[in-house]
Structure formats: structure tokens, C-alpha cells
Structure 1
Amino acid sequence: MASVFVVGDKFRHKVTELIEKTDSCLPRRLREELEETLEKPEPATLSFSTARKLKKHLQDTGHPFYLHELLEDSSLHLPEVVKPPRNPELVARLEKIKAKLANEEYNRMTRNVNTQEISRSGTLADFGLQVRSVKAVAVTIFNFLVTVVAAFACSYIGSQYLFTDTAARVISAVIAASVVGLAELYVLVRTMEGELGEP
């Protein structure tokens, strides 16, 4: 916090005139403090208490200039803030906490990363699982097609005892194959729902 002014040339000039002209008026203590300020090497400083005394003297005696005019080219002296050294135990503790937080953040970011993956396509076990899945789908589709074709063939051949017309035999075979196909789809969907519903 500032407690002194760094005085400029204007202050030096005016205060020198004030000291020379008013030897009897200027209080002795104030005069000594001002002379001491003027004798200091650059940068000379003026304490706030001396500035207050000078201001009171200027007001009481009715001088034609004010303190702010004297300090026009002066500046506040702000002392350099000296930071106390940090406690080494505290620094070590903070470093441990930072490392722990960084480790937790890293673990949070990488918790869904599979460390057993060989490449982007996955491990051989994953590849085998995908092949088995594709194989199961292919077998299911083949089974569906064979069932529908067999139902069509049986209905077409069996309908020759009921219908003599070929168109009627084809229509009856298509209806039977459609019913069998829908039933097969229903069973397939229920089976897939059961597999997906399992934990």
C-alpha cells in the first residue's frame, strides 16, 4: 500500500520558494521535514503525514496555491510486494493432489477403451463372434426360404386332387406358402425378442 509520494521538479521549486519566503511562518518541524525531503537524492519521497501538515499550513496561512498543485508532477510510490516463500510441505501436497486429479481424469476418459483390442477391427475373438453371428443369420434366412418353398411345393402338388385348373392350384399354393411364411416370421421374431431380452 502506498504511503509516500515521489516528488517532482514542480514540488521542489515551489517548496524551495516557500521555505525561503516564509521563514517565520513555517512551523519548525514541518520546515525540517521539507528540507530533509529536498535534500534526498532522486527519487525523493514525501510521506503522507508531511503532506497533510503542509496542506494544513497552506490552508491556514491562505497561500495562493494548493497541495494538489504542488504534487501535480509527483507520483505515488508503490512498494514492491514481497511474496513470502511457499511452504515446501504445502507444495508437495498440492503436487500430489494435482497428480491424483490428473490420474482420475485420465481413468475417467479411458474407462471405455478396450485394452485387449489388437487393431481397429478388434481381436480374433471378436472376429469369430461376428462370423458366428453372420452364420446364424444366413442359416435362419436359408431355413425360412426352404420352409416357404417346401410349403409352396407341397401345396401345389397336393392341390391337384382338389383342383384341375393350374391357376387355382398356384393360388392355393401361394396362400399356403404365405401362411407358413408368416408363421415362420412370427416364431423368428419371438425368438429374437427372447434373445435380446436376456441380460
Structure 2
Amino acid sequence: MASSFVVGDKFRNKVTELLEKSDSSLPQTLREELEETVGGAEATILSFSTARRLQKYLQDQGHPFYLHELLEDSSLHLPEVVKPPRNPELVARLERIKAKLANEEYNRITRNVNTQEMNRSGNLSEFGRQVRSVKAVVATVFNFLVTVVAAFFCSYMGSQYLFTDTAARVLSAVIAASVVGLAELYVLVRTMEGELGEP
């Protein structure tokens, strides 16, 4: 926080004129402080308390110039702020927190990246899904064929009690297998429609 001025040439000249007057009733302590302020060749500092005493003196004596006129080319003296050294434990803790946050951000960004990629056409989970789909189709076709063949043989063997002619037995077995096959296809199509219709 500022507590003094860096005085300019205007202040130096006016205060020097004031100090050279032998008839001035300037208090001794104020005179010494002002002589010390204007005596140096380089930029000198005037404290606020000295500036207040000089202003009071000028008002009491009825001088024709005011303090703000004296300080027109002066500036505030802002002392350099000395930062205290940082606590090494705090610095280490902040570094750990930064690393943890960076790791969480990385995990959030790479959450949907699958490291088990096979090639550009897909990854292992998609391949597994396709294999399961093929297995289901093969099982369905095998089930269909077994059902139709079983229906044929059942009808052929059961028709021996009705027909004695082989051609009639075969014809009745083909008709029974066809009916069972159409019923199986109907159920299969309805099942496929249900699976495809699901969201």
C-alpha cells in the first residue's frame, strides 16, 4: 500500500525556495525532513505524514500555492511487494491434486475408447456378437431341418397302419412334413419380426 510520494522537479523547486527564505517560521523537524527530501539528486521520497505537516504549515502561513499544486509532477511510491516463499508441502500437495485431476480428465475423455480393436473393420466385441448371431441362425436352420425330417419319418412310419401302398405312405409323409415345415416357418418368421421390432 502506498505511504509516500516520489517528488518531481516542481516540488523540489518550490520547497527549495521555501527553505531558502530566512524569515520562514518552518518548524525545525519539518525543515530537516524537507531538506533531506530535496537534497538528493535522484528520485526522492516524501512520506504522507511529512506532506500533511507541510500542507498544514502552508495553510497556517497563508502561502499562495497549495500542496496538490506542488505534487502535480510527483507520483505515488509503491513499495515492491515481497512474496513469502511457498511451503514445499503445499506445492507437493498441489502437484498431486493437479495430477489426479488430469488423470480423471483423461479417463473421462477416453471412457468410450475400446483398447481391444482387432482391425479397422471392427473390434472383438463386434466379432463376438456376429459369431453368436451366426450360431443362432445355424441352430435355427438345424432345428427346422430336424423337425421336418422327424415329421416325415413319423408320418411315414405311422401311415403303415392306414395305407399298404408305399406311394400313399410317402405322399402322406410329404404332406405331413410340409404342414409341419410351414408351421415352423410361420413361428420362425413371427419370432424374427419380434426381435427386429424391438428397439
TM-score range, shorter chain: 0.5 to 0.7
CA contact (8 A) 2:116 2:124 kept: no
Distance 2:69 2:50 in 1: 16
Q: What does residue range 89-104 of structure 1 map to in structure 2 within 5 Å?
A: 89-104=89-104
Q: Identity over aligned residues, as a percent?
A: 72
Which whole-Å deviations, capped at 9, do the CAs of 1:104-134 have from their partners, x for residues lacking one? 1111221221111122322466336436647
Residue among 177, 189, 192 paired with 1:188: 192
1: distance between equivalents of 2:84 and 2:120?
54
Map of 1:14 onto structure 2? 14
If the length of structure 2 is used for normalisation, what is the TM-score?
0.67
1:48 aligns with 2:48: yes
User: Deviation at 1:36?
Assistant: 1.1
Once the two structures are TM-superposed, the CA of residue 185 in structure 1 deviates from its matched residue by 4.5
Give the drift of 1:98: 0.7
Query: Is 2:122 the partner of 1:122?
Result: yes
The residue that corresponds to 2:27 in the other structure is 27
Confirm or deny: 8 A CA contact 2:18 2:24 kept in the other structure.
no
Alpha-carbon offset, residue 23 of structure 1: 3.7
TM-score of the aligned structures, taking structure 1 as reference length: 0.67
Structure 1 residues 128 and 16 mapped into 2: Cα distance closer, same or farther (>3 Å)?
closer
Aligned residues: 159
Please name the residue that 1:58 is paired with. Answer: 58
TM-align CA RMSD: 3.2
Counterpart residue type for residue 88 of structure 1: P
Distance 1:23 1:120 in 2: 100
- Alignment correspondent of 1:165: none
Structure 1 spans left out of the alignment, 5+ residues: 144-179
Gaps of 5+ in 2: 145-182
Tell me which amino acid in the other structure corresponds to 1:100. Answer: K
Distance 2:24 2:128 in 1: 110
Query: 2 CA distance for matches of 1:123 and 1:24?
Result: 98
Distance apart, 1:34 and its partner CA: 0.6
Residues 15-51 of structure 1, C-alpha deviations (whole Å, 9 max, x = no match): 0111122544211111111111111231111111000
